[in-house]
Structure 1
Amino acid sequence: MGRPYWGRGFATEAMRAMIAYGRDELCLSCIWAGHCAGNLASRRVHAACFGALDRY
Structure 2
Amino acid sequence: MAVPKKKTSKSKRDKRKATWKSKANLQAQRALSLGKSILTGRAQGFVYPTDEETEED
Report the TM-score when normalising by structure 2: 0.39
Which structure's relative contact order is higher, taking Cα pairs within 8 Å and 6+ residues apart? 1
Give the number of the structure whose alpha-carbon radius of gyration is greater.
2
Structure having the higher helix fraction is 2
